[in-house]
């Protein structure tokens, strides 16, 4: 399994790097950190290349590499990666035609995992999806600035687009808190079960408390919600974990957002709907991403 | 289905542009405007939309301008091709080649060393020095080259100041913006400092057969630079109050590092020598054999001496930008030839005459502001290429000096101090990652106001005295 | 002292060229030749010396041509700049851009797979297939692109045959030369296959206002290709007798490897689709809006769909070669305008009239041989640019069809089968390191003789029948 | 000390690689193998770059790399270099602007020496001298085809130019034979002594027999020649080697060429003359290179 962590160089992204680093370390997964540098207008790109060559002549990092170096420090700090012995080349500037200085820095994790720091240039979302396609990742982690109020409506669109279009699981890491446990939601579908199976080993490895949450839209269907929760509990316990069960009554998205406040992570399954439906959806997962305050993991 | 939707979404600006164009063509041609003139205006409007929204790489827009000029029947294929080329385009090409030859050498380290020897370690003096040196060098070899050469100097200084980013926010902005604004100030210093200058020279020559020599241009434009340099440095220091006022340690370290590289090499002397020789030729022969042809002599010398290889020029020059400028020159001339320029000039004057700014200095101010607005979204050369004929027509109609109007347009086109994306210099320093877009806004508006006022002051006094 | 001596030594050809030029200028102008005509001839002679000896990168020679045209007073700077640009230069530019867009995709793997499916594993069939497919593809997108795309196919086949180099010497030469000669054969198939074709179209149009459409060109040129392909394959097989006659294992391995890459992607369909659409436009609209403008439509589509980025074009296109061709066109037109072309045509005819080859098919043969000799030392486009006006003047004087003379020149300019350095295709396969210079000599002279004979045969029969 | 071995990919160069490999191994010196790819006309270079990118896409070696790979095999065969453990990157395509795929392959010698295979593009002699300048080499080894008769006048110009212009010692390796010992010539100058000091450890390390040879232009000066030879013998014996002494009478170049026939290597000192004199010289070392049949080492 490979995790792709997308950073935008901000402080919020650093929390997300720590969080995904912890998961990678606990699970022994490979991790890549990706920074996508915005592409300048075609009118200026060749001038920028000249400027970058000059920076190279002066032994200065080309823009974006500093974010990756910071990510490296964080990963070493939380013991995910070890530094290579001094003298061995650890940064390799690979050539990508037309882009001088597309970069990969390669570290080796403490258990031999591969840690790759990668720099791409272009439209953020396109490049992230392209990286996922060629790199065969199983989980994308992306930071979100965790704005409140009005600002919320104008931000988070990158995270949202990735959540919509990614072919794999996506974790939107915002407002990362301490150790208050994971909230696994279930709607009784196969996808929900897969979500439980996906998250259980991670919860065990991170030693996180697990709560299963099921929402009944009306009071009359509370029994069914409870039944769904029980089935999820069964799966979790088969994987060697104990967990609490909780049932909420009301509109699913709101209930989940409310309940999630006291948890580290809320786990949702992507609705298994078709492309057309996905296009028009104001689905539960997306609402939780948009209005919730907790990190969200959408399992695919 | 989804795929097609994606294509439409990605190309929405193409559809919008084409729809706007179609709509305009469908509208009745206004009185006093020929059909060809109308078509030229439509091409201009759609091109501006494409230049701003960039639904395809800008050189592609240049190609489309050629295509539409032919398809619309404004000109035949051969005439269109010919209109893409003139001595001014040669001049733009040659200047870019000379700049590429210079940027290949390590002149940046020499300049940095001499600069720091003069300024010492005071932040105020360094700011002034950076603005002045960027302006001076950019006057001869263009803002993109200077920005690329000075950016590493600035970044090295910044890196050496302190590890803690928060302690040098203002200082970083100060140093980098000094470079960018300095480079912008210089970009009208001589005809060779920017394409917009070459394009304006082209219009004067093609439309009125007025020729301005290299030295004469400098006589008109340099006074503004002399005022701008100290005032900009002062404004920058006031706007981005530096966290420390002396950075002796960083300066020493930087000087130390450059000294290690050793003395100037024979190659570097040759590079400077050929540049000076070329400038001399521009001054001495530019009038007679054309600035473009003259610049080719310099380029040939660089190639003969092996100071630059052809690959460096092929890959280091933005040939697309040459296409873009060539296409705007072509379109500009077609706008003039079809009478569209005159019509637009008249319409614009009618529009602003109620405001009482349709003549004299107020008119120049209006032209300047219009230019600055456009130059903040598309590149300065393209602005001059598109606005040039209209502005010169306006000057002719109102009996204003075409030289004054032309200089105001050309010079104002580099006043894009607030926009990151419009000028190569701002783009290059922004790409360092040390600046925020808001930094350009914080300082930029002051620069724009000061520059307009200075420009109008010079236009109404100095230019009148020396007689334009 | 030593340093100066080094400079002189490295630049000896510049001094030699300038001395030859000075000597010629000092000589009395021959009767019937104007002073300007003499100067044009001097520029041409010195340029040819520089093109052959290459004392500075060739694009630099192009710049010097522009400089000397202006300094010698043949044309003013603006006219010189204008003469550098025409729809043909647009066409060369556009064709190179389209080729760069195609080479970026993995079309080479598709072509290799389809080719090997058709040919099977027989070396004879593979040779024929390589020649045919290289010729066909190069007819539309140019020899340099085809050579670059097919070289890896050839090298992979060769690598897979055997570890022992000595056991595949002939086979290697056979495969690689099939690609190079195939690409050369195709390089006159359509106007878009090479710059020399575009340049000849330009001269016809500028000198006699004769316009040849895309299809009409193909009607004249394709029969030769149809003969050349099988004959060349046969000659190659006889000259380089392959060590084995079947290479099933290599072919299977190669097919296997390509199949792993998966099916054609939507992008590849788009690339082919836009190419076909552009060819359709060339055929349908080329006459009316110019081949160059038409090619720009194709390029814009590639840019809009994002199939190619501007950087790919900027760095993947040899802008220098465009400058070289533009300069030879400019010089060629000046040779015509100054009357130098007519004078040289007459002198040449007088020179060869004692041999009895100053008219009809013998004259065409003489033109062809002259072209081939020049094309073996300088690039085919430059040859046509320099010889074109002279040859067309000769045809006019002798009442020979200017079309026939023009086609013979354009087509012969790609008969440089013996020279490694003259054509991009030979250069590219030679760069693989598998070939010796002597391999080109071994096969080349046969190809040249066969090609001349075929060309004259077609000129004296087929071209007469269809009426030129 | 670093040796630079220049190969042209021919069979003759392979002998030279073996020879310099043996010296490097015996002395524990670093060795670089350089191949200079001829540069195409500026008209074609960009097309060639396109072709090279295509070769890269097909995982084919760019031209010239195969010679370096062959050199690598030879070095491994004669135990100079060890192969790196599988999986470690051993070839690194470094970016040099405008030249796609300038290449360095880096091996580690059996005693930890650095073995570098380098590819450059340009004029052979210029690029070799440039490599010497930046790489700070102490000895250049270059092959020579060892032509006979007329062909001799037209070849060997590369070796000759390098011998003329190099700032360090140059070994022209042609007709490499077995173990018949080294011939050290002396003209009594300081340079000759330096040559003896330079070659002595190599002779000892390679276990080569050493003969000292001095030429008297006339019979009357034979004593002086003998005296010169004795001085050289003293230096050699101080370095722990025994050696024979021989004196010839006649024109130096001819005598040396004749005597050298029975030796593996003839050692000469560069005449310590000025640039002007060098320019007009038909000096002894150059004559020995041009007309001799034996490998020549010119010590500077």
Handedness of CA B229, B234, B237, B238 (dihedral sign): negative
What is the Cα B316 distance to its own chain's centre? 18
Contact D25, D161 (CB under 8 A): no
Q: What is the mean pLDDT of chain D?
A: 74
Q: Do B205 and C306 touch (CB under 8 A)?
A: no
Residue of B nearest to C74 (CA): B289
Q: What's chain D's length in residues? A: 300
Could you tell me if residue C55 is inside a domain? yes
The tokens describing A230, both together, are 């029980």
pLDDT at D279 over 60: no
Q: Given CB atoms, is B59 within the 8 Å cutoff of chain A?
A: yes
Residue of A nearest to C311 (CA): A98
Residues of chain A contacting residue C311, judged by C-beta atoms under 8 Å apart: 42, 45-46, 97-99
- Chain B nearest-CA distance from C289, in A, is 6
Q: Where is average pLDDT lowest: B30-39, C87-96, D73-82, D99-108?
A: D99-108
Region D141-164: mean pLDDT is 63
SS (H, E, C) chain D: CEEEEEECCCHHHHHHHHHHHHHHHHHCCEEEEEEEECCCCCCCHHHHHHHHHHHHHCCCCCCCHHHHHHHHHHHHHCCCEECCCCCCCCEEECCECCECCCEEEEEEECCCCEEEEEEEECCHHHHHHHHHHHHCCCEEEEECCCCCCCHHHHCCHHHHHHHHHCCCEEEEECCCCCCCCEEEEECCCHHHHHHHHHHHHHHHHHCCCEEEEEEECCHHHHHHHHHHHHHHHHHHHHCCCCCEEEEEECCHHHHHHHHHCCCCEEEEECCCCCHHHHHHCCCHHHHHHHHCCCCEEEEC
Contacts (Cβ under 8 Å, ≥6 apart) of B118 = B129
Residue of B nearest to A123 (CA): B10
pLDDT at D87 over 50: no
pLDDT at D282 over 70: no
Q: Given CB atoms, is B58 within the 8 Å cutoff of chain A?
A: yes
SS (H, E, C) C282-299: HHHHHHHHCHHHHHHHHH
Better-scored residue on pLDDT, B267 or B87: B87
Q: Given CB atoms, is B50 within the 8 Å cutoff of chain C?
A: no
Q: What is the longest distance spanned by two Cα atoms in chain B?
A: 70
pLDDT at B420 over 60: yes
Task: Identify the pLDDT of residue D106.
Answer: 58
C209-226 pLDDT per residue, tens: 888 899 999 999 999 999
Q: Given CB atoms, is B311 within the 8 Å cutoff of chain D?
A: yes
What is the Cα B87 distance to its own chain's centre? 18
Could you tell me if residue C131 is inside a domain? yes
Mutate to test the interface with D, among B105, B304, B307, B311 (most CBs of D within 10 A): B311
pLDDT over 90, % of chain C: 49
Residue of C nearest to B12 (CA): C304
Q: How many domains does chain B have?
A: 1
Q: Given CB atoms, is B315 within the 8 Å cutoff of chain D?
A: yes
Q: Do C433 and D63 touch (CB under 8 A)?
A: yes
Task: Identify the pLDDT of residue A85.
Answer: 43
Which chains neighbour B (Cβ–Cβ under 8 Å, 3 or more pairs)?
A, C, D
pLDDT at D227 over 60: yes
The tokens describing B121, both together, are 């370690």
- Chain C nearest-CA distance from A156, in A, is 27
Q: Which residue has the tokens 């005509």?
A: C37
Mutate to test the interface with A, among C304, C308, C310 (most CBs of A within 10 A): C310
Task: Identify the pLDDT of residue D86.
Answer: 36
Domain that holds residue B203: 2-84+107-260+318-466
Task: Identify the pLDDT of residue B3.
Answer: 61
pLDDT at D280 over 50: no
User: What torsion do the CA atoms of B133, B137, B142, B144 make, to the nearest 10 degrees?
Assistant: -50
Q: Do C54 and D9 touch (CB under 8 A)?
A: no
Q: Where is average pLDDT lowest: A95-109, A207-221, C157-171, C260-274?
A: A95-109
Region D225-254: mean pLDDT is 83
Size of interface B-D (CB pairs under 8 A): 15
Cα–Cα distance between C16 and C14 in angstroms, integer?
5
Distances (CA, A) of B84 to C87, C287, C313: 10, 20, 19
pLDDT band at B422, cuts 50/70/90?
A: confident
Q: Do B155 and A55 touch (CB under 8 A)?
A: yes
C110-152 pLDDT per residue, tens: 888 889 888 888 899 999 999 999 999 999 998 989 999 999 9
D184-226 pLDDT per residue, tens: 888 777 777 788 888 888 888 888 888 888 888 777 888 888 8
B96-115 pLDDT per residue, tens: 999 999 988 888 888 888 89
Could you tell me if residue C200 is inside a domain? yes
Give the one of C57, C82, C290 whose C-beta lies nearest to B85's C-beta.
Answer: C82
What is the Cα A17 distance to its own chain's centre? 9
Residues of chain D contacting residue A95, judged by C-beta atoms under 8 Å apart: 93, 95, 100
- Chain C nearest-CA distance from A67, in A, is 26
Task: Identify the pLDDT of residue A20.
Answer: 85
pLDDT at D57 over 80: no
Q: What's chain A's length in residues? A: 300
D4-26 b/e (C-beta count within 10 Å ≥ 16 → b): bbbbbbeebbbbbbbbbbbbbbb
Residue of C nearest to B292 (CA): C77
Query: Residue A99: helix, strand or coil by DSSP?
Result: strand
Rounded to two decimals, the ipTM of the complex is 0.77
Residue of C nearest to D276 (CA): C2
Could you tell me if residue B272 is inside a domain? no
Distances (CA, A) of D212 to B217, B407, D246, D285: 76, 82, 6, 16
Task: Identify the pLDDT of residue B299.
Answer: 95
Contacts (Cβ under 8 Å, ≥6 apart) of C12 = C55
Q: Do D53 and A97 touch (CB under 8 A)?
A: yes
The domains located in chain D, with CATH, are: 2-173 (3.40.50.620), 182-299 (3.40.50.620)
Strands A2-7 and A30-37: parallel
Could you tell me if residue B306 is inside a domain? no
Phi, psi of A144 (to 5 degrees): -145, 145
What is the Cα C426 distance to its own chain's centre? 11
pLDDT string in tens for chain A (300-residue length) = 888 888 877 777 788 888 888 888 888 888 888 888 777 777 777 788 788 778 877 777 777 777 777 888 888 888 777 654 433 333 334 333 333 344 556 566 666 667 777 777 777 787 888 788 777 788 888 876 655 444 444 445 677 778 778 888 888 887 777 667 888 888 777 777 788 888 888 888 888 888 888 888 777 888 888 888 888 888 888 877 888 888 888 887 888 888 888 888 888 887 644 444 444 445 777 777 777 778 888 887
Could you tell me if residue C299 is inside a domain? no
Which residues of chain B from 399 to 458 reach within 8 Å of chain C, CB to CB? none
Task: Identify the pLDDT of residue D278.
Answer: 46
pLDDT at B69 over 50: yes
pLDDT at D150 over 90: no
Task: Identify the pLDDT of residue C45.
Answer: 93
pTM, to two decimals = 0.83
Task: Identify the pLDDT of residue B288.
Answer: 86
Task: Identify the pLDDT of residue D91.
Answer: 39
Cα–Cα distance between A49 and A64 in angstroms, integer?
14
What is the Cα C466 distance to its own chain's centre? 25
Task: Identify the pLDDT of residue D153.
Answer: 47
Cα–Cα distance between C428 and C151 in angstroms, integer?
8
Q: Do A54 and B152 touch (CB under 8 A)?
A: yes
Better-scored residue on pLDDT, C447 or D121: C447
Long-range (24+ apart) CB contacts under 8 A made by B393-397 are B393/B336, B393/B341, B393/B342, B393/B344, B393/B345, B394/B345, B394/B348, B394/B349, B394/B363, B394/B367, B396/B345, B397/B342, B397/B345, B397/B346, B397/B349
Distances (CA, A) of A154 to A143, A159, A218, A247, B409: 15, 12, 33, 32, 38
Closest CA to B129 of B154, B109, B148, B152: B154
Cα–Cα distance between D167 and D36 in angstroms, integer?
19
Q: Given CB atoms, is B159 within the 8 Å cutoff of chain A?
A: yes
Task: Identify the pLDDT of residue D92.
Answer: 39
Residue of D nearest to B303 (CA): D42
Better-scored residue on pLDDT, C15 or A193: C15
Residues of chain D contacting residue C144, judged by C-beta atoms under 8 Å apart: 47, 50
Could you tell me if residue B307 is inside a domain? no
Q: Given CB atoms, is C157 within the 8 Å cutoff of chain D?
A: no
Could you tell me if residue C305 is inside a domain? no
- Chain B nearest-CA distance from D56, in A, is 20
Q: Do C77 and B14 touch (CB under 8 A)?
A: no
Q: Is B466 exposed, middle or buried (0-12, 13-18, 19+ CB in 10 A)?
A: exposed
pLDDT over 90, % of chain B: 49
Q: What is the mean pLDDT of chain B?
A: 89
Top mean pLDDT of A281-290, D69-78, D92-101 is at D69-78
Q: Where is average pLDDT lowest: A172-186, B43-57, B329-343?
A: A172-186
Q: Given CB atoms, is C304 within the 8 Å cutoff of chain A?
A: no
Region B246-274: mean pLDDT is 85
């Amino acid at each position: 399994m490979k995790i792709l962590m997308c950073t935008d160089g901000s402080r919020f992204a650093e929390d997300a790097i720590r969080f995904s680093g912890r998961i990678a370390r606990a699970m022994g997964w490979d991790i890549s950190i990706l920074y996508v540098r915005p592409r300048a207008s075609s009118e200026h790109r060749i001038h920028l290349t000249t400027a970058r060559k000059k920076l190279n002549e002066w032994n200065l990092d080309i823009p974006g590499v500093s974010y990756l170096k910071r990510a490296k420090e964080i990963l070493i700090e939380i013991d995910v990666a070890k530094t290579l012995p001094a003298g061995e080349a650890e940064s390799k500037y690979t050539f990508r035609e037309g882009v001088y200085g597309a970069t990969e820095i390669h570290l080796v994790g403490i258990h031999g995992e591969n840690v790759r720091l990668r720099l791409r240039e272009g439209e953020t979302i396109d490049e992230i999806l392209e990286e996922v396609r060629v790199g065969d990742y199983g989980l994308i982690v992306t930071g979100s600035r965790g704005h409140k109020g009005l600002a919320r409506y104008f931000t988070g669109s990158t995270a949202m687009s990735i959540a919509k279009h990614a072919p794999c699981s996506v974790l939107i890491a915002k407002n990362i808190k301490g150790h208050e446990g994971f909230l696994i939601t279930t709607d009784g579908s196969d996808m929900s079960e897969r979500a439980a199976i996906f998250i259980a080993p991670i919860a065990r490895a991170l030693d996180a408390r697990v709560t299963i949450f099921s929402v009944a839209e009306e009071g009359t269907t509370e029994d069914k919600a409870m039944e769904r929760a029980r089935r999820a509990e069964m799966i979790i316990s088969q994987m060697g974990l104990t967990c609490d069960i909780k049932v909420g009554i009301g509109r699913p998205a709101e209930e989940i957002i409310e309940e999630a406040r006291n948890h580290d992570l809320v786990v949702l399954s992507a609705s298994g709907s078709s492309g057309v439906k996905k296009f028009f959806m104001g689905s539960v997962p997306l609402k939780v991403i948009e209005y919730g305050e907790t990190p969200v993991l959408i399992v695919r | 289905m989804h795929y097609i939707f994606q294509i439409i979404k990605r190309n929405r600006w193409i559809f919008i542009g084409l729809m706007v164009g179609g709509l305009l063509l469908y509208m009745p041609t206004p009185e006093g405007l020929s059909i060809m003139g109308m078509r030229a205006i439509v091409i201009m409007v759609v091109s501006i939309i494409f230049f701003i929204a960039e639904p395809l790489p800008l050189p592609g827009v240049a190609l489309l301008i050629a295509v539409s000029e032919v398809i619309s029947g404004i000109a035949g294929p051969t005439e269109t091709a010919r209109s893409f080329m003139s001595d001014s385009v040669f001049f733009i090409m040659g200047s870019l080649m000379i700049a590429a030859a210079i940027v290949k050498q390590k002149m940046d380290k020499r300049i940095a060393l001499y600069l720091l020897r003069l300024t010492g370690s005071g932040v105020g003096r360094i700011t002034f020095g950076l603005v002045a040196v960027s302006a001076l060098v950019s006057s001869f070899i263009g803002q993109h080259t200077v920005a690329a050469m000075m950016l590493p100097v600035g970044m090295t200084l910044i890196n050496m100041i302190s590890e803690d980013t928060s302690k040098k926010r203002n200082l970083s902005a100060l140093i980098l913006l000094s470079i960018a604004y300095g480079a912008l100030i210089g970009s009208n210093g001589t005809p060779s400092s920017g394409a917009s200058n070459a394009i304006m020279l082209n219009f004067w020559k093609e439309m009125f057969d007025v020729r301005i020599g290299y030295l004469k241009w400098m006589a008109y434009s340099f006074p503004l630079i002399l005022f701008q340099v100290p005032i900009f440095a002062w404004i920058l220091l006031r706007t981005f109050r530096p966290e420390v006022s002396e950075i002796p340690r960083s300066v020493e370290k930087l000087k130390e590092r450059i000294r290690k590289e050793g003395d100037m090499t024979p190659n570097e002397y040759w590079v400077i020598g050929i540049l000076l020789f070329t400038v001399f030729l521009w001054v001495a022969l530019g009038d007679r054999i054309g600035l473009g042809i003259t610049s080719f002599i310099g380029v040939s010398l660089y190639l003969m001496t092996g100071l630059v290889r052809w690959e460096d020029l092929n890959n280091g020059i933005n040939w697309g930008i040459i296409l873009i400028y060539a296409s705007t020159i072509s379109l500009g001339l077609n706008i003039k030839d079809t009478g569209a320029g005159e019509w637009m000039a008249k319409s614009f004057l009618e529009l602003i005459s109620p405001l009482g700014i349709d003549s004299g200095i107020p008119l120049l101010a209006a032209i300047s502001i219009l230019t600055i607005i456009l130059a903040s979204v598309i590149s300065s050369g393209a602005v001059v290429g598109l606005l040039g004929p209209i502005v010169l027509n306006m000057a002719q109609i109102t009996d204003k000096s075409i030289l004054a109007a032309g200089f105001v347009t050309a010079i104002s086109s580099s006043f894009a101090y607030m926009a990151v994306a419009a000028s190569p210099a701002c783009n290059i320093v922004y790409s360092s990652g040390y600046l925020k877009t808001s930094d350009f806004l914080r300082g930029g508006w002051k620069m724009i106001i000061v520059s307009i006022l200075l420009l109008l002051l010079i236009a109404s006094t100095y230019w009148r005295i020396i007689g334009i």
